[in-house]
Structure 1
């Protein structure tokens, strides 16, 4: 009786997409390598469309095949046309059978804060009432009608940059001074306790909560990049359930969700981030975030039972 020779174990191929080799990218490179994956690092801007290629894409480091998964760390900044093309690349990778995490739709749903607010409301996830309009007159009308402080945020923004607390019409900037000519306004839900503001960041991966922290600051902006302190956060089933629901609402699989309790004590989701950083979260929770990220993505590859190259159909010959 002839015993078949054992097949060589397939090495997962990971494409790490990042705008730069920062601390997070280095941690991910090490985490995937420690788990036996083959990893290539590339900026999203460097991936091109090529309709003469077998799968319609030109991916540095993958001349004749496709990666099994894309781990999206950060996207490069660029013009509207450049960002649109890069999101198109992520959409195309999903279409040809590559696991993309987070995929383009989740990124679009989170990068545009007005879409995030819309999806949270549609899913019944409690979140401060939000508006997005394109004229100062309409924004002023909303401020007068609501008669309460509101936060003006860049529609596309992160790390607490460009936030402004609006208490009256006079606080509104001119249309030429807004980010892209859009007024995205959200009810201010922050509450100071003993002169300090706080909120919660919960990290959701593969449908479960994997880490959490409490962020405290002397000011109402509680982002770590703006000087807030990262503190341990004990388990909170209500916050955790909302974080999971918010991640599902935007279609994400690895998201950082910001939450707080308003003055009435109600839990509220403030934002959902599809490309979250984790320096403060790692320090506060003691969790190996990069290791969790790598383990979960490799598990998704294993669950498919086949490679992207086998799953994808080449473009039809012209």
Structure 2
């Protein structure tokens, strides 16, 4: 049985969980819906089961419940990898530790250091540490625009688009270019997504990013600069808007294969 934790941001018009459930039903794969809010992880009744986390609320109870469930069950994505992706600092640290290109980044408490970073680059992108869907991201050009710290700052790379690559089981399986006339190209911020082929450089850096975070599947967001692709962030509960690849079917098959592997 595949136990599904639905994405809390699903809507009738944008239902990631439902898209995968439909593929599970076509494959006659048994599943159940798991409400983390109604689970006591110390007495869940789940053991040696597969739990798929389509999405999660950023609250202590859900993270702790997932952590405990992962002790006796196969959880996809693992709580650890979801936490790594949720924290932009941890994502950056793991990418750097594994030699994956990412824009020059600083996580700074000192106002003097933040000012120095900004002055050195001329422009910097401020990102909330635990933000999502592009919310709260802004371009900073003067020290007085920094606001209260601490600050997670990335060098600004001029661009008119970014790329999202969907990686599943270590393999890049789909990609889109997201274009807009603003700083953020995220679909939720008005970006327009178009499927694109996965070139070898894109494949290599996206798959290396997933490996660095030890994650089953993810959305790797890239920019292209003079040297090639560089990783902006990795999303552990990604959407797959506009992708030509049949992501719901691929993801359903991945869950089925993993669940069967547990029974072998």
- Whether TM-score is above 0.5 comes out as yes
CA contact under 8 A between 1:150 and 1:166: conserved in structure 2? yes
1: CA distance between counterparts of 2:33 and 2:155?
A: 40
Residue 316 of structure 1: aligned partner: none
Instruction: Give the Å deviation of 1:227.
Output: 0.8
Gap change, CA 1:21 and 1:185, over 3 Å in 2: closer
Q: Deviations over 1:248-297 (max 9, x none)?
A: 111111100001211x242101110000011233xxx2x22111111011
Report whether the alignment pairs 1:210 with 2:173.
yes
Structure 2 counterpart of 1:34, from 19, 26, 34: 26
SS in 2 for 1:90: helix
SS in 2 for 1:131: strand
Aligned pairs (5 A) from 1:23-172: 23-49=15-41, 56-58=42-44, 64-66=45-47, 68-77=49-58, 83-96=59-72, 98-144=73-119, 146-172=120-146
Unaligned 5+ residue runs, structure 1? 1-11, 50-55, 59-63, 78-82, 176-180, 192-196, 307-318
Structure 2 counterpart of 1:244, from 192, 200, 207: 207
2: CA distance between counterparts of 1:44 and 1:65?
A: 12
Q: Deviations over 1:58-113 (max 9, x none)?
A: 3xxxxx54472111111124xxxxx23321221212211x1111111101110000
CA contact under 8 A between 1:24 and 1:277: conserved in structure 2? yes
Taking only aligned residues, the RMSD between alpha carbons, in angstroms, comes to: 1.8
Report whether the alignment pairs 1:183 with 2:159.
no
2: CA distance between counterparts of 1:246 and 1:19?
A: 25
Report whether the alignment pairs 1:230 with 2:193.
yes
Unaligned 5+ residue runs, structure 2? none
SS in 1 for 2:70: helix
SS in 1 for 2:242: helix
CA contact under 8 A between 1:13 and 1:67: conserved in structure 2? no
CA contact under 8 A between 2:107 and 2:153: conserved in structure 1? yes
2: CA distance between counterparts of 1:21 and 1:68?
A: 24
User: TM-score scaled to structure 1, two decimals?
Assistant: 0.77
Residue 311 of structure 1: aligned partner: none
Instruction: Give the Å deviation of 1:140.
Output: 1.9
2: CA distance between counterparts of 1:20 and 1:219?
A: 24
Deviating beyond 6 angstroms after TM superposition, the runs of 4 or more aligned structure 1 residues are: none
